[in-house]
Structure 1
Amino acid sequence: MSDLLDKWWEQGQTIIENGLLTHYRILGLDSEELIFVIQLKSYLDQKQYFPSMSEIGDRMGVKESKVFAILHDLIQRNLVAINTEKDNTGKDFDRYSLTPLYRKLAHVLEKSTLQTSEVEKDINLLEIFQQEFGRLLTPIEMQTIGEWMDKDRYQTELILEALKEAVLNQKYSLRYIDRILMSWEKKNIRTSVQAKEETKRFSNYQERPPVTQPQESSERIPLFNWLESEE
């Protein structure tokens, strides 16, 4: 039993990244191509840089011609490369490389991470709305906020700025916030910085003394009185 374990360890191990197993279909690999990549990696891990396709075919239980077809297709799709390098004696030798595959995998993982981050940001946005409104959002309200980001392409910071202005005017309504966003869009205001500048400009305009002195009103002038009052 001990001898068998020793032989088993002598054969070495091939570590397959979970990212590859999870996203291989996104990379355009089918199950047979994935097995080929794993077999090729096992040779590379043992420093056998240019293994026989016949041997890989025996391992996979397919003909050598089929293995060559898979290899050719992966090279054409820039997932496997053949590089020429020099050994310690300065002699050229060819080797297979999976670097192109792992570069594309890294890009997929990065994109997946960004998408996860966006989902987390969406969840945080909903939580902020619920905190400001002092209640849970309805499914329709959640859908409306989602459409602001996905359909209208409003930045999260811009939506939060509109929420801030609505709260200042004690208008706890997505309809009111939507009017603010639409008004900003008509003025080509796309960022929270631009929105703050517009708010400041409008506020300064309201504070200018009038030429004539009409009857004063104690009613507070809304920050965004260009919007129609919510019915």
Structure 2
Amino acid sequence: MDDTFMQQFINAGQTTVSSLLLAHFHELGITNDEFLVYLELKSFYDAGNHFPDMATIAQRLRLSSTQVYQIIHRMIQKKILTIDTTQDKQGRSQDQYDFALMYRKLATYLSQQNRQVVEQKSSDQRQALFEQIETEFGRPLSPIEYETIAAWLDQDHYQADVIGLALREAVLNQAYSLKYMDRILLSWERKHLTTKQQIQREQEKRQQRQPSSGAAAQSSTEDIPQIPMYNWAEPNDDDKQ
């Protein structure tokens, strides 16, 4: 490459396009021709010309001025382009192309997509939780039990992984009932333990506070049944039924 070309390349400037827009302009209802017109208008805008001549755009795209006018008209109808009128420092009116509506449509689309992903993930977690409880209980859940678990998620706003920890505690205590799990969840709630990480840290602290047992202590208690380490609730024997 010679110096002349490099100087021309630099002087021509750069047109920046969001990769998000490039990836999703079809989802916004923008055709290829409309996107090409957007790129041309954007290149002029970046160079400081906010309202380039339509004939210039047509020449660069190898289209007629009428075709470019029709494309711009469609973009205005689709609410992805507006023509705004402003006044300069001398009070003279001047027009400019504005793509703010298109960017808002892109933001709305991406927000909806993200929300759908979150909702799908939540639905998958809910179904996995139902299946996990049924597996540990060794039986299908009743309709009332489904409603109870749904209420934990939707009304009490317990996280699915927190309910999973409560299930683990119930299984360790051989108490296969939602009533037992509910008492565990309420116990954690009273302690302001609302996330899996908080509960696990509290369990680790609880374990560290337990006195270490030497060989003598072990031999003196070897006939005592082992109690699960994380016995957060103290349900009645009826809860284990």
SS at match of 2:116: helix
- Sort the Cα spacing of 1:120 and 1:219 in 2 relative to 1 into closer, same or farther, 3 A: closer
Equivalences, count: 166
Identity of aligned residues (%): 24
CA contact (8 A) 1:57 1:64 kept: yes
SS at match of 1:7: helix
In structure 2, the gaps of 5 or more residues are 159-177, 183-235
Aligned to 1:78: 79
- Sort the Cα spacing of 1:171 and 1:133 in 2 relative to 1 into closer, same or farther, 3 A: closer
Measure the CA separation in 1 of the matches of 2:157 and 2:104: 40
In structure 1, the gaps of 5 or more residues are 135-166, 204-217, 224-231
Instruction: Kindly provide the CA deviation profile for residues 161-184 of structure 1, in whole angstroms up to 9, marking residues without a partner as x.
Output: xxxxxx7xx3642xx254534699
Is 1:92 aligned with 2:54? Answer: no
TM normalised by structure 1 equals 0.59
- Sort the Cα spacing of 1:192 and 1:172 in 2 relative to 1 into closer, same or farther, 3 A: farther
TM normalised by structure 2 equals 0.57
Measure the CA separation in 2 of the matches of 1:28 and 1:22: 12
Supply the AA of the counterpart residue of 1:14.
Answer: T
**Which of the residues 155, 170, 186 maps onto 1:193?**
155
Measure the CA separation in 2 of the matches of 1:124 and 1:191: 11
- Sort the Cα spacing of 1:178 and 1:46 in 2 relative to 1 into closer, same or farther, 3 A: farther
**Which of the residues 145, 150, 160 maps onto 1:180?**
145
CA contact (8 A) 1:82 1:95 kept: yes
Q: CA RMSD in A?
A: 3.5
CA contact (8 A) 1:19 1:109 kept: no
Measure how far apart 1:194 and its partner are. 7.2
Instruction: Kindly provide the CA deviation profile for residues 122-155 of structure 1, in whole angstroms up to 9, marking residues without a partner as x.
Output: 4444554565456xxxxxxxxxxxxxxxxxxxxx
CA contact (8 A) 1:81 1:96 kept: yes
Measure the CA separation in 2 of the matches of 1:178 and 1:14: 59
- Sort the Cα spacing of 1:125 and 1:21 in 2 relative to 1 into closer, same or farther, 3 A: same
Measure the CA separation in 2 of the matches of 1:5 and 1:126: 60
